Amino acid sequence: MSYTNLNEAIARLDEIEATVSAYSHAMGVLNLDASTAAPLGAAEGRGKTMAVLSGVVYNLAASDDTRELVAYLSEHMEELDANHRRQVEIQKKSCEQLVRIPQEEYIAYNVLLNKAEGIWRVAKIENNFAAFAPVLEKIVAFNRKFAGYYDPDKAPYDALLNEYEEGLSMQTLDGFFAELRRVIVPLIRAVGEKPQPDTGFLEQSFPIEEQKAFAKYLMDVIGLDPNYCTITESEHPFTCGFNCHDVRITTHYHEYNPTFAMYSTIHEGGHALYELGVDESYNGTCLSGGASMSIHESQSRFYENIIGRSREFIELIFPKMQEVFPRQLQGVTAEDLYRAVNKAQPSLVRTESDELTYAMHVMVRYEVEKQLIGGTLEVKDVPAEWNRLYKEYLGVDVPSDTLGCLQDSHWSGGAIGYFPSYALGSAYGAQMKHVCESELGPIAPFIAKGDIAAITAWLREHIHRFGNFKKPAAIFEDACGKFDPKYFADYLTEKYSAIYGL
Q: Which residues bind a second copy (CB under 8 A)?
A: 18-19, 21-23, 25-27, 29-30, 32-33, 36-42, 44-46, 48-49, 51-53, 56, 209, 225-230, 232, 242-243, 245-246, 248, 283-284
Closer residue to a second copy (CB): 15 or 392: 15
Q: Closest CB to a second copy among 32 and 147?
A: 32
DSSP string, 316-365: HHHHHHHHHSTTTTTT--HHHHHHHHT-----S-GGGS-TTTHHHHHHHH
Nearer to a second copy, 246 or 304 (CB): 246
C-alpha 485/C-alpha 359 separation (Å) is 12
When the beta carbons of 243 and 426 are compared against a second copy, the nearer one is 243
Pick the closest to residue 203 from 289, 63, 332 (CA basis). Answer: 332
Helix (H) or strand (E) holding 126: none
Element (H, E) at 250: strand 246-251
| Residue 250 Rama label (left phi>0; alpha psi -120 to 50; beta) | beta
Q: Does residue 297 carry a catalytic annotation? A: no
| 96/233 with CB nearer a second copy | 233
d(CA 385, CA 24): 36
For residue 414, the cross-strand partners are none
Classify residue 148 as exposed, middle or buried by CB count within 10 Å of its CB (0-12, 13-18, 19+): middle
Q: What are the φ/ψ torsions at residue 172 (nearest 5 degrees)?
A: -60, -45
- Phi/psi for 397 (5° steps) reads -95, 130
Tell me, what DSSP letter sits at residue 306? I
- Number of Cβ within 10 Å of residue 495's Cβ equals 20
If the CB atoms of residues 201 and 228 are measured against a second copy, the closer one turns out to be: 228
Query: Which is closer to a second copy, CB of 32 or CB of 140?
Result: 32
CB atoms within 10 A of CB 139: 24
Cα-to-chain-centroid distance, residue 401:
22
Minimum distance between the CB of residue 284 and a second copy, rounded to whole angstroms? 6
Contact between 349 and 222 (Cβ < 8 Å): no
Task: Output the smallest distance, CB 15 to a second copy, in A.
Answer: 10
How many whole angstroms from its chain centre is CA 242? 15
Residue of 268, 275, 312, 369 with catalytic role: 268
CB of 244 to a second copy, least distance (A): 9
Catalytic residues: 268
